[in-house]
Structure 1
């Protein structure tokens, strides 16, 4: 089911492209390359931090709904505590999503609007880690998935976060599989080779997006 907070933004999404992947696939590296080529990257994780910063409407709603135990000593949201709550309760996760998602996408839309008003042919990529998991597909004209095979994904995650094989696999299995995301994508960037190989693939897709935005009214 589509995230209802996205229904109102479909018409404004025609020149917006989604960038996603799975944990350990190297999406940040790919986003950096796109940015070097001239794309503007909107980081949904950063937008989320802005939306739930202390003193905001969403922050106050989250604290009211989940209690003061989710706050740090400094009065900020303890993301680990909140994460453990929503991980163990689908109802709590839906509650958090209902509070934060509309505000997150309103802010993303505002950022996209400002960018495109300044340059209507600008390539705008919204870096969305859980794009498919949050049913956000309708927001984007095209979706790009950063891909590596599962065995590389596990190895990278083990090395990056000092995890055991089982721990890494458990984190990966909390998301839709990268093979399924690859099937659903409009474009796929294979990030399992050298950085030179990845740069070539990113360049090719960037040029496609440049041509595409010029054709969209």
Structure 2
């Protein structure tokens, strides 16, 4: 199995790239979806959020109003860090369970984890390959304004609340330039998928060879 960490920054198009990889046969684990799951009413992360930020971050149905919560935390880095301290442990545990479930079904799977904060949280060693979706910072701002209806000031604040996309380049094994048309991104994914399949086969072959060598050594020791 090959573990791929898919990352980028806000409005870079990670979800689009994830769907393209899923279309090629990848198993996708969406960290945003995991976060939604662990923040369901009365779960530990939900309780931590309500205790820390107050009941005003809840909708009438007691679910977290993520837009309202986002307004609070993106304006204050300390609050953002506190939110991460509450949510991340539960999300990482859910991720580990998902990976093991996939491994049990498909030992040769290519698992792509859509993880926006992968580099910020220093989780690079959890993955065999780091795949970065890149667009220039000004394009991030432009897309946020168009997609979310933010003012330029709000869009800049959201972009600046995260690690710069430029600073993430050195951490990446593979970069997808998503600044152009969809067709160009798909062409890149077609080539990258071939690379990932090859790497998964080589990794599995190497693991099998190491296991066999270890077995031989053990037999010799017993003899």
| TM bin (shorter chain) | 0.7 to 0.9
- Residue 91 of structure 1 deviates from its aligned partner by 4.1
Hey, what's the Cα distance between the residues in 1 that align with 2:18 and 2:115? 11
Asked whether the 8 Å contact 2:12–2:135 carries over to 1, the reply is: yes
- Please identify, of 32-41 and 148-157, the stretch whose mean Cα deviation from structure 2 is larger: 148-157
1:70 aligns with 2:57: yes
The 1:32/1:84 distance shift into structure 2, 3 A limit, reads same
Asked whether the 8 Å contact 1:148–1:191 carries over to 2, the reply is: yes
SS at the partner of 2:4?
A: strand
The 1:158/1:58 distance shift into structure 2, 3 A limit, reads closer
TM-score in terms of structure 2 length:
0.82
Hey, what's the Cα distance between the residues in 2 that align with 1:156 and 1:59? 30
Aligned to 1:211: 198
SS at the partner of 1:16?
A: strand
Q: Structure 2 matches for 1:48-59, cutoff 5 A?
A: 48-59=35-46
Hey, what's the Cα distance between the residues in 2 that align with 1:89 and 1:165? 18
Give the one of 97, 113, 121 matched to 1:126.
113
Hey, what's the Cα distance between the residues in 1 that align with 2:155 and 2:77? 22
- Residue 131 of structure 1 deviates from its aligned partner by 2.0
1:147 aligns with 2:134: yes
Q: Deviations over 1:14-56 (max 9, x none)?
A: 8311111122222111111101100011100000000010121
Hey, what's the Cα distance between the residues in 1 that align with 2:148 and 2:76? 25
- Structure number with bigger Rg: 2
- Count matched residues: 204
TM-score in terms of structure 1 length:
0.84
1:176 aligns with 2:163: yes
SS at the partner of 2:133?
A: strand
